Amino acid sequence: MAWSSLLLLSLLGGPGLGEPGPLEDVVIDRYYIPKSCSREVQMGDFIRYHYNGTFKDGQKFDSSYDRGATVAGVVGVGRLITGMDRGLQGMCVNERRHLIVPPHLGYGSIGVAGMIPPDATLYFDVILLDIWNKEDKLQISTLHKPERCNRTVENSDFVRYHYNGTLLDGTHFDSSYSKDSTYDTYVGTGWLIKGMDEGLLGMCAGEKRRIVIPPFLAYGEKGYGTVIPPQASLVFDVLLVDLHNPKDGISLEHLELPAACKRKAVTGDFVRYHYNGTLMDGTLFDSSYSRNHTYDTYIGKGYVIPGMDQGLQGVCVGEKRRIVVPPHLGYGETGAGNKIPGSAVLVFDIHVIDFHNPLDAVEIETLSRPEGCNATTRDRDFVRYHYNCSLLDGTKLFSSHDYNHPQEATLGTSKVIDGLNTGLLNMCVGEKRVIVIPPHLGHGENGARGVPGSAVLRFEVELLSREDGVPEGYLFIWHGDPPANLYEDMDLNKDGEIPPEEFSAFIKAQLTEGKGRLMPSSDPDTVIADMFQNQDRNQDGKITAEELKLKSDEDQERIHEEL
């Protein structure tokens, strides 16, 4: 007969057939009891165990180890010899027992032909590996639950999770960690064993669970390959990495909103923002902060993943927002690089620094304007002003106050960025303004020293003074007609030549007497030197009468027309 049925009632006779031996009952030696015992064997339980069977002299008559398969059966329903039925009751998984079974509780006075002699006392060394009952339910223990849980797993959701799979006795049979990849699947659609389908329901991303699955909700009587025996209970320690549903759109959470929001970003706007990008379990995959540089892009134009294109719509300058992007609006089933797995849900925490549109003009807000102001700035005027320059998020860049003197510039001469030049026009002395300048009227895509590329700039300006300018292309103009004998008046020592020293002295005299004015500048000597170079056509360090006449004839008509 097969040894696997040796512990079942022999067809040759039951335990009451022979005379009882000197032992009245099974002798049980619990020589190893595990520290944790959540359940003990009771009548009607289904169990799996290994054993060695010997006689008193140590001679082996049977062993499940030799057959390479555990023994499975139901306790207390007459399928085992009475001594084994009694000896297994109250055992814990992984408990080890020595059992001494007297003949009347074993194979009695008949024995088993050729294997077990009549009236034999049997010695068993048993380890219990599994226990379950047909009334069992799925057992779920929560090992860790995150503080934040905005959503839990439902049927038809797609989940990504890590797991360690063991038998009830702790024998390892599989692990996603060893594959360095999550297990990705739909829930409640028949892709998983029933117990796992049920055990994943209600989980949060980042939650850890232990799921104990009885065989009839796992692989049942067939088992699975060589690693999961038939009728095996399974234990899964699960970490849910993320979840989504194919019908999901993006989800938004407003973390911080500015007190005022004059404008919200729309399709076609160019946005500069910082972000931290994480997976749903908090694993960081990218950050603009680590590069110390904003991410700059147009929105609604397909330059970023669809989820971000949607998630940036309607942002305010200074806003902080969390954008959760399902994989079908992110990087899909293939993922990106080695940091974003396939089918991963992405979480972006963004901080909007600024945004603009390529069609934007300069924005001017007058904070204060003196009463009775009749004269305002225009191109070619020389102005002095104080300013504070910052980014739209309030980051300070520059300030004239840091240098203890105002900024000076001649308007319309490309001495300041176009947007600031526009913002300084039509100002009164003493007026204060806020000037917001888009990058195409500022420092452009490349930025400047201390100014990020594509940055919107905010200037707080106070005009301190202005001086009338001169027409474009001229450094000096007369308030009236020039002297009839200009060359003779300019030739101070009457030697027929006008060197730089004489030229400078003559011009300064005209300025002092109010007969003309220079192009406004913080350095009049430089302007006068430039004037001399313009007159000295031969570049020989002196002005002749002919040179002066030619220059004067060309200039005077244009000057009077422009004035």
Average pLDDT on 541-545 reads 81
Q: How far apart are CA 416 and CA 361, in angstroms?
A: 16
Residue 449's pLDDT band (boundaries 50, 70, 90)?
very high
Number of separate helices (H) and strands (E) present in the chain: 9, 26
What pLDDT score does 209 carry? Answer: 98
Residue 491's pLDDT band (boundaries 50, 70, 90)?
confident
Q: How far apart are CA 79 and CA 106, in angstroms?
A: 12
Closest-CA residue to 223 (of 234, 238, 236, 239): 234
Residue 470's pLDDT band (boundaries 50, 70, 90)?
low
Weakest mean pLDDT among 182-191, 453-462, 497-506: 497-506
Average pLDDT on 241-249 reads 95
260 CB-side CA count, 13 A: 3
What pLDDT score does 145 carry? Answer: 94
Residue 542 has pLDDT above 90, yes or no: no
Q: How far apart are CA 151 and CA 192, in angstroms?
A: 21
**Helical axes 500-512 vs 524-535, angle rounded to 10°:** 120
**What six digits make up the tokens of 133?**
């009952």
What pLDDT score does 550 carry? Answer: 54
Contacts of 298 (CB under 8 A, 6+ apart): 268, 269, 270, 271
What pLDDT score does 522 carry? Answer: 61
Average pLDDT on 24-41 reads 94
Average pLDDT on 69-83 reads 92
From the CB of residue 131, how many other CB atoms can be counted at a distance below 10 Å? 25
Residue 547 has pLDDT above 60, yes or no: yes
Average pLDDT on 307-320 reads 96
189-228 per-position pLDDT tens digit: 999 999 999 999 999 999 999 999 999 999 999 999 999 9
Mind telling me the catalytic residues?
51, 61-62, 81, 107, 124
State the DSSP code for 403.
G
Q: How far is CA 255 from CA 190, 289, 311, 319, in A?
A: 39, 18, 13, 8
Closest-CA residue to 273 (of 253, 244, 293): 293
- Long-range own/partner contacts, residues 246-250 (CB < 8 A, 24 or more apart): 246/156, 246/158, 246/326, 246/328, 248/326, 248/328, 249/310, 249/326, 249/329, 250/307, 250/310, 250/311, 250/323, 250/324, 250/325, 250/326, 250/329
Q: State what percent of residues in the chain have pLDDT above 70.
A: 90
Q: CB burial class (10 A; 0-12, 13-18, 19+) of residue 98?
A: middle
- Note the pTM of the prediction, 2 decimals: 0.72
> Could you tell me if 263 and 445 are in contact, meaning their C-beta atoms sit under 8 angstroms apart?
no
Q: Quick check: helix, strand or coil at residue 522?
A: coil
Q: Quick check: helix, strand or coil at residue 182?
A: coil
Q: How far apart are CA 282 and CA 285, in angstroms?
A: 9
Q: Quick check: helix, strand or coil at residue 559?
A: helix
316-371 per-position pLDDT tens digit: 999 999 999 999 999 999 999 999 999 999 999 999 999 999 999 999 999 999 99
Q: How far is CA 60 from CA 23, 102, 183, 357, in A?
A: 21, 16, 45, 89
From the CB of residue 332, how many other CB atoms can be counted at a distance below 10 Å? 14
262-303 per-position pLDDT tens digit: 899 999 999 999 999 999 988 999 999 999 999 999 999 999
Residue 494 has pLDDT above 50, yes or no: yes
In which residue are the tokens 């102001």 written?
373
Residue 114 has pLDDT above 90, yes or no: no
What pLDDT score does 5 carry? Answer: 41
Residue 21's pLDDT band (boundaries 50, 70, 90)?
very low
Residue 540 has pLDDT above 80, yes or no: yes
**What six digits make up the tokens of 429?**
């002395």
**What six digits make up the tokens of 30?**
């619990």
Give the containing element (helix H, strand E) for 96: strand 96-101
What pLDDT score does 137 carry? Answer: 95
Q: Quick check: helix, strand or coil at residue 525?
A: helix
**What six digits make up the tokens of 257?**
């909103």
Average pLDDT on 410-437 reads 94
Residue 435 has pLDDT above 80, yes or no: yes
Average pLDDT on 398-423 reads 91
What pLDDT score does 446 carry? Answer: 93
In which residue are the tokens 């101070």 written?
492
500-531 per-position pLDDT tens digit: 888 888 888 877 777 767 766 667 788 778 77
Closest-CA residue to 504 (of 480, 530, 486): 530
Average pLDDT taken over every residue of the chain = 89
The per-residue DSSP string of 100-152 comes to: EE-GGGTTTTT-BTTTB-TT--EEEEEEEEEEE-TT---EEEEEE--S--S--
Residue 13's pLDDT band (boundaries 50, 70, 90)?
very low
Contacts of 504 (CB under 8 A, 6+ apart): 525, 528, 529, 532
What pLDDT score does 11 carry? Answer: 28
> Could you tell me if 119 and 51 are in contact, meaning their C-beta atoms sit under 8 angstroms apart?
no
**What six digits make up the tokens of 218?**
């796992």
Q: How far apart are CA 414 and CA 394, in angstroms?
A: 27
Closest-CA residue to 466 (of 334, 377, 374): 377
